[in-house]
Chains A and B, each alone.
Chain A
Amino acid sequence: MRSVIEASPDEDVCILDTEASPEHLARGTGRHADAMLAVVEPYYKSLETGRRMAVLGRDLGLSRVSLVANKIRDDRDLEAVQEFAGKHELELAGVIPFDEALPGAERAGAAPLDFAPQARAVQAIGELAGTVCK
């Protein structure tokens, strides 16, 4: 897989959706990427896994590694992620609210963007895309 990433031209966007295992990344899947987004939910185990993956990404030499907060329900959730990011000196590239539209799309067998284009989570992912791929 890393050969595919390496071969993809720079002017295009190549998005690699990975498996949850850090081993996967450690095998070098991420080595030829420019950036990593570690998606975290606002609870300890998820944050900790995200942090470990971010560290792996840095070790692999990726120039930009950041966290994305997902399934954020309220200010407390947001503060938990912000505090964790601050403590570990990790950038928080985006915040995506908890949104029923995503599981709803899944149940309907549709893409979130087709099922609920105006959904808050979809809008937030749009903002994230703009931040990451300027």
Chain B
Amino acid sequence: MKLVIAGKGGSGKTSISGTMARLLARSGRRVLAIDGDSNPNLALTLGIPIERMNDLPTLSRDLLRRTADGQELTRTLAEVCESHSLTGPDGVSLLVMAHPQHAGTG
């Protein structure tokens, strides 16, 4: 199940994404939460200390390869998560797409 959370600024996307991720993980699912905001703040709602985010390498262009209809990962998602994700409370994996200074790699 791949779920996109959309909506107007400030509507509650991040609160809902983070809390849903934690609750689904508690119910036994393997959950990957992706922060696609160029000003990432999903970590807090997941209960991951902000300091830990600073150690996180962001996804860089060399992980992506151009294809006819867009881009694909040059490594498996498991490998990308291994090197680029954080594991937070209840075992939720967090992948952060961009830091403000790296905006546009998504």
Q: What A residues does B68 contact at CB under 8 A?
A: none
A72 to chain B, nearest CB (A): 11
- Residues of chain A within 8 A (CB-CB) of B86 are none
Check B6–A111 contact: CB distance below 8 A. no
CA distance A20 to B8 in the complex (A): 5
- Please measure, in the bound complex, the distance between the C-alpha atom of A125 and the C-alpha atom of B16, giving whole angstroms: 7
Contacts of B3 in A (CB 8 A): 13-16, 33-37, 132-133
Q: Are B32 and A39 in contact (CB under 8 A)?
A: no
Per-position contact with A for B1-28: 1 when CB-CB < 8 Å, else 0? 1111111111111111111111110010
Chain A residue nearest to B29 in the complex (CB): A13
A 96-120 binary contact with B (CB < 8 Å = 1; else 0): 1000001001100111111000000
Check B30 for interface membership: any CB of A closer than 8 A: yes
Q: Which residues of A contact B64 (CB under 8 A)?
A: 3
Chain A contributes a number of interface residues (CB within 8 A of B) equal to: 64
Residue from the list B2, B7, B21, B31 in contact with A35, Cβ < 8 A? B2
Flag if B29 contacts A15 (CB, 8 Å). Answer: no
Contacts of B50 in A (CB 8 A): 109
Cβ contact within 8 Å between B36 and A29: yes
A-chain residues with CB within 8 Å of residue B46 when the two chains form the complex: 111
Within 8 A of B (CB), among A62-109: 62, 68, 70-71, 96, 102, 105-106, 109
- Please give the residue numbers on chain A whose beta carbons come within 8 Å of chain B beta carbons, in ascending order: 1-20, 24-25, 28-30, 32-41, 45-46, 49-50, 53-54, 57, 62, 68, 70-71, 96, 102, 105-106, 109-114, 121-122, 125-126, 128-129, 132-133
Can you identify 29 A-B contacts, CB atoms within 8 angstroms? Answer: A2-B70, A2-B71, A8-B77, A13-B1, A13-B21, A14-B33, A16-B36, A18-B4, A18-B5, A18-B13, A28-B70, A35-B2, A36-B5, A37-B7, A39-B11, A41-B12, A50-B7, A53-B7, A57-B6, A70-B12, A71-B11, A111-B89, A112-B19, A114-B47, A125-B19, A125-B23, A132-B3, A133-B3, A133-B29
